[in-house]
Amino acid sequence: LPLSFAQTRLWFLEQMGGLGSTYHIPTSMRLRGELDRDALVRALDRIVARHEALRTTFAQVDGAAEQQIAPADVGFHLAEHDLRERADADAELGSIMAEEARAPFDLEHGPLIRGRLIRLAADDHVLLLTMHHIVSDGWSMGVLTQELGALYGAFRRGAPDPLPALEVQYADFAAWQRRWVEGEVLREQADYWTRTLGGAPELLALPTDHPRPARTDHAGAMLRVELDEELTGGLKALGRRHGTTLYMTLLAGWAAVLGRLSGQDDVVIGSPTAGRGRREVEGLIGFFVNTLAVRVDLADGPTVAELLGRVKERTLGAQHHQDIPFEQVVERVAPARSLSHGPLFQVMFAWQEMTRDGGLALPGLEVGRVGAAPADVQAKFDLSLNLRQAGDRIVGSITYATSLFERETVERWLGYLRRMLEQMAADEGRPVERLALLSADERSRVLDEWNGTDAPYPADACLHELIERQVERTPEATALVFEGELLTYAELNARANRLAHHLRSLGVGPDVRVGICLDRGPAMVAGVLAVLKAGGAYVPLDPGYPAERLAYMLADSAPAVVLTQARLRDRVEHAGVPVLELDADVPAWASMPSTNPGVEELRSHHLAYLIYTSGSTGRPKGVAIEHRNAVNLLGWAGSAFGDGELERTLFSTSLNFDLSIFELFAPLARGAAAWLVDDAVALLRSPADVTLVNTVPSAMCALLDAGALPSSVRTVNLAGEPLPESLVQRIFAETGVERVCNLYGPSETTTYSTGVAMRRADGFAPHIGTPLQNTRVYIVDRAGEPVPVGVAGELHIGGAGVARGYLGRAEFTAERFVADAFSGQAGARIYRTGDLARWRPDGTIEYLGRMDHQVKVRGFRIELGEIEARLREHAAVRECVVLARQDAPGQTRLVAYVVGGETAGAEVLRAHLGQTLPEHMVPAAYV
Ligand code: AMP
Ligand code: MG
């Protein structure tokens, strides 16, 4: 006798081992009153005699599994325990129950149904019955209890077996199923499933609390679920209006919640179906239950009504094609298989309309529940929601895999389900993605509590004023160190002031741009200060950049004048922009006053600088930063770092990267010294006596590799790229550094927006910390709704650091800088970073990567999309994909897969990257 398809799958699973009690179907009941033990035993024996399934065992014969059926008189395997004399009867009962739940079944030798009768007192018993799923299902349990009631009642009265004989047995069904599967009906059903499930996502990527184990672990736990009368009534009414059953309505809500949690708009949910479509099998005990994989399409922002329509269509389709065993569906759809999760779906929704579990009724006995819960809950799926109607309410449970989820998380999600259903019932015209998941408490936690970063700062001050105040306090202190040369605050200030007065005479003032194309040195620093003091905004034009890029930035920023030097003049001299050589023998401003110019009309909302960053189109955009933006950053720096830390701050970053803002201004606003070098790698050539290094992780790696991090360094700031754990460990292991700060932020919100400081004793923090002062972070989904803790969304940044926008690019500005919907402050804006992140339960932020097609190497953004576009322009290239892989910190491999044109990839990369990359970034090889 062959096995049914479902049995075959379970048989295989059991052969693979490790299932434990996952497929046990237990029931327990308390019997109060006078029990006729003999009638009970006869009734149980009779049930086993009636149902071949309960006498079945499985054997491997010539490589194939077979059913073997024992004679009808084998009897029911009932163990009896007498606890009447035991003082510890309760404890003993508990351990008997636990033992019963766990004791394995032997599929080869049986029995596959067993029971225990525990006598607690003459009129008090507990009956435990356990079947293996391979011979039964939930419906079967209903058949069993019903027959048990009828037989017990009859035998107790001395009457004969009242039950009609069974027409067919399970093995007949299994054989029929095998034949049927060859047929035409089956082909049609199979087509339906391959059509509807083809291309479905392999995994519903729920945000788990723990990483998914390589092999599914069946340990589970269970929570009760109850929807009150009001909600149940609302859902019924909603269903009436849209022609959906409660099952469909609940499934729609559950799918919507799962979609939001996973960020997927294509969600497959399993649903059991009784599999008893033919009348002859209704009264049988056996494994009939089948599983339907219902795929719910959440794409294109359906309203509640539209989603109900979609779910209705899908569930009707599924039910119409439910005869084909799930095992066959899996085989035909052939999804990618993994031992770490079930095929096709990982979340179950069971609506128990199809079990006919009327409960056990035994004449003369009061049948009740047994107090103690079963010892182990088994989780066959990531999540299983089991609901049924109980009077005017909907009740049930949710079972979750404890290897993946914490109880609090699942409790929270149940709250989301309830809120989702409430809002669906309340308003069917709204788009489902706009319905709020979070409770008021959670919402205020992520929107306000975790953004409670208000701190006073001199919002009216300008960047250079902070420095001018230091000049007054400590004129003789060292402000700048460069190649052994020291400049005091007074000297630097005087030098900048003379130039500033001259710039004023050239028409520089508020919001007027001034280019800076200078070698790194005191003149560059004085130039930057002079521009600010004259009321203007500086535009860094790093002479290391390719000529084409410099030309672009010059044309785009349209500076009134460019500060440069003789050596570099020809790099910036074109299109009629006046240039000023700062290294001229007799500068025009030599005799200008050395006092602060004090520009009357300058306010902190005027521009301080313009830093170019390549946006998602690849055409660099000038980020326009106002004084007040940068002043807040410095306010944060002033409280986050001690005097000793900033005392001698390495200034190694190009002015064209906004890390330079911190390195130059944080020390100068504090009376400390900026230690200027060409770049971080310059430390390899000549060590510097610095206390703080602020750079990108890849540069830090290079310094460690060369053992070139000065021993005077106490604090390391790392920013601009994801910070690898190994790097932090190396820093603490190989140097005397006391604090490592991971700082995160795009140029558009003024250098740093979140951060975390790690002390040696703390070790690595796997996150980017919390919002800095006067900064607000929102993590939102596609519809702009705040996502729950743990769920990935786009990181939006609001607060004092938000830039004015992109210079001369109103459209882009409007797209990326939008109104802050959550701060409640009139006119507040946020910047949409395009970064993916999620909240951790403690309010820190985990950075997950870019949403778009972009990589960053040494702080420099490279647009893969643009490289692809260039490749496609090449005559020989028909198709291409460009991927980026970080081989090691500071070492990124771009791989271009090109169809057509053997050498085109290398050619285009060489030509394109050659023009794009700053000079210090040397491609290792074009292969
Ligand atoms: P930019 O505007 O060039 O400074 O680039 C900002 C982008 O760099 C951010 O949007 C992030 O994608 C990435 N980024 C900056 N800092 C960090 C950090 N600490 N960890 C991970 N990524 C970062
Ligand atoms: Mg940055």
Q: Which whole number is the average pLDDT over 272-288? A: 88
Closest residue (by CA) to atom 5 of ligand 1? 746
Backbone angles phi, psi at 634, to 5 degrees: -70, -30
| Percentages (nearest 5) of helix, strand, coil residues in the chain | 35, 25, 40
- Cis check: omega of the bond before 111, within 30 degrees of 0: yes
Mean pLDDT computed over 227-241 = 97
Share of the chain above pLDDT 70, in %: 94
What pLDDT shows up at residue 355? 45
| 769 vs 924: which has the higher pLDDT | 769
Question: Is the pLDDT score of 642 beyond 80?
Answer: yes
Phi then psi dihedrals of residue 888, to 5 deg: -160, 160
pLDDT tens-digit series, residues 538-580: 999 999 888 888 999 999 999 999 999 999 999 998 778 999 9
In contact, 207 and 790? CB cutoff 8 Å: yes
The β-bridge partners of 132 are: 24
Q: How confident is the model over 297-312, as pLDDT tens digits?
A: 999 999 999 999 999 9
pLDDT tier for residue 857 given thresholds of 50, 70 and 90 = low
Task: Indicate the range of 198-207, 588-597, 696-705, 896-905 predicted with least confidence.
Answer: 896-905
User: How confident is residue 182, by pLDDT bands cut at 50, 70 and 90?
Assistant: confident
Tell me which ligand sits closest to the C-alpha of residue 658.
2
pLDDT confidence tier of residue 909, bands split at 50, 70 and 90 = confident
Handedness of CA 625, 631, 634, 639 (dihedral sign): negative
Average pLDDT over all residues of the chain? 91
- Per-residue model confidence (pLDDT) at position 373: 53
Q: How far is the CA of 832 from the centre of ligand 2 (A)?
A: 14
Q: How confident is the model at residue 887 (pLDDT cuts 50, 70, 90)?
A: low
Helix segments in 534-676, DSSP class H: 547-557, 569-572, 627-640, 643-646, 659-668
At residue 615, the pLDDT reads 45
Instruction: Look at 227-241, 476-490, 643-657, 856-870 and tell me which has the smallest mean pLDDT.
Output: 856-870
Residue with the bigger pLDDT between 687 and 258: it is 258
Which residue's alpha carbon is at the smallest distance from atom 1 of ligand 1? Answer: 746
- Give residue 365 CA to ligand 1 midpoint distance, Å: 71
- The residue whose two tokens read 């409007």 is 814
Ligand 1 pocket: which of 742, 795, 835 to mutate (most atoms within 8 A of CB)? 835
Please report the pLDDT score of residue 18 as a whole number.
Answer: 66
Using the mean position of ligand 1's atoms as its centre, give its distance from the Cα of residue 51 in Å: 67
Ligand 1 atom 19: residue of nearest CA? 744
Task: Name the residue of 621, 856, 858, 886 to mutate for ligand 1: max ligand atoms within 8 A of Cβ.
Answer: 856
High-pLDDT (> 90) share of the chain, %: 69
CA of 717, nearest ligand number:
1
pLDDT bracket for residue 616 (50, 70, 90):
very low
Check residue 356 and give its pLDDT: 47
Those residues with Cβ within 8 angstroms of residue 587's Cβ, 6 or more apart along the chain or in another chain: 499, 502
Among 269-278, 341-350, 412-421, 895-904, the range scoring the smallest mean pLDDT is: 895-904
User: Exposed, middle or buried: residue 711 (CB in 10 Å: 0-12, 13-18, 19+)?
Assistant: exposed
Could you tell me the distance, in angstroms and rounded to a whole number, from the CA of residue 656 to the centre of ligand 1? 15
861 CB less than 6 Å from ligand 1? yes
> Is the pLDDT assigned to residue 288 strictly greater than 80?
yes
- DSSP, res 327: H
Cβ of residue 719 lying under 6 Å from some atom of ligand 1: yes
Given ligand 1 and candidates 661, 847, 858, which is best to mutate, with the most ligand atoms within 8 Å of its CB?
Answer: 847
The pLDDT value given to residue 927: 56
Q: Is the CB of 248 under 6 A from ligand 1?
A: no
- For ligand 1, whether the C-beta of 722 sits within 6 Å is yes
For residue 660, report the distance from its CA to the centre of ligand 2, in Å. Answer: 9
pLDDT of amino acid 764 = 95
The better pLDDT of the pair 219, 537 is held by 537
Interhelix angle 659-668/627-640, nearest 10 degrees: 70
How many Å from the N-terminal Cα to the C-terminal Cα in the chain? 62
Q: Look at 206-215, 572-581, 759-768, 910-919 and tell me which has the smallest mean pLDDT.
A: 910-919
Q: How far apart are CA 542 and CA 545, in angstroms?
A: 6
The pLDDT of 758-763, averaged and rounded, is 93
CA 753 to ligand 2 centroid distance, Å:
9
Average of per-residue pLDDT across 478-491: 97
CA of 752 to the centre of ligand 1 (A): 9
How much is the pLDDT for 920? 60
Ligand nearest to the CA of 719: 1
User: In this structure, what DSSP letter does residue 303 have?
Assistant: B
354: confidence class by pLDDT, cuts 50, 70, 90: very low
Q: Which of 171-185, 374-388, 891-905 has the lowest mean pLDDT?
A: 891-905
CB-proximal residues (5 Å) to ion ligand 2: 658
- Give the model's confidence band at 450: pLDDT under 50 very low, under 70 low, under 90 confident, else very high: very high
Q: Which atom of ligand 1 is nearest to the CA of 743?
A: 19
pLDDT reported for residue 553: 93
Shortest-distance atom of ligand 1 to CA 833:
10
The model carries a pTM of: 0.83
More confident residue, 185 or 584: 584
Q: Using one digit for the tens of pLDDT, what is the confidence trace for 813-838? A: 999 999 999 999 999 999 999 999 99
Close Cβ partners of 503 (under 8 Å, ≥ 6 residues apart): 514, 530, 531, 534, 536, 561
Ligand minimally distant from the alpha carbon of residue 662: 2
Q: 881: closest CA among 894, 898, 893, 866?
A: 898
Q: What is the pLDDT of residue 923?
A: 66
Q: Is residue 448 scored above 90 in pLDDT? A: yes
What is the structure's pLDDT at 888?
Answer: 62
- Give 192-197 contacts, CB < 8 A, sequence gap 24+: 192/317, 192/320, 192/321, 193/293, 193/321, 193/324, 193/329, 193/332, 193/333, 194/332, 194/333, 196/295, 196/314, 196/317, 196/318, 197/268, 197/293, 197/295, 197/329, 197/333, 197/335, 197/344
Segments of 483-628 assigned E as strands: 485-488, 513-516, 537-540, 561-564, 579-581, 607-614, 620-626
Q: Ligand 1 mean position to 15 CA, how many Å?
A: 50
The Å distance, Cα 187 to ligand 1 centre, comes to 53
Please give the distance, rounded to the nearest whole angstrom, from the Cα atom of residue 678 to the centre of ligand 2: 19
Q: Could you tell me the distance, in angstroms and rounded to a whole number, from the CA of residue 111 to the centre of ligand 1?
A: 63
Ligand 1 pocket test target in 659, 721, 831, 855 with most atoms within 8 Å of CB:
721
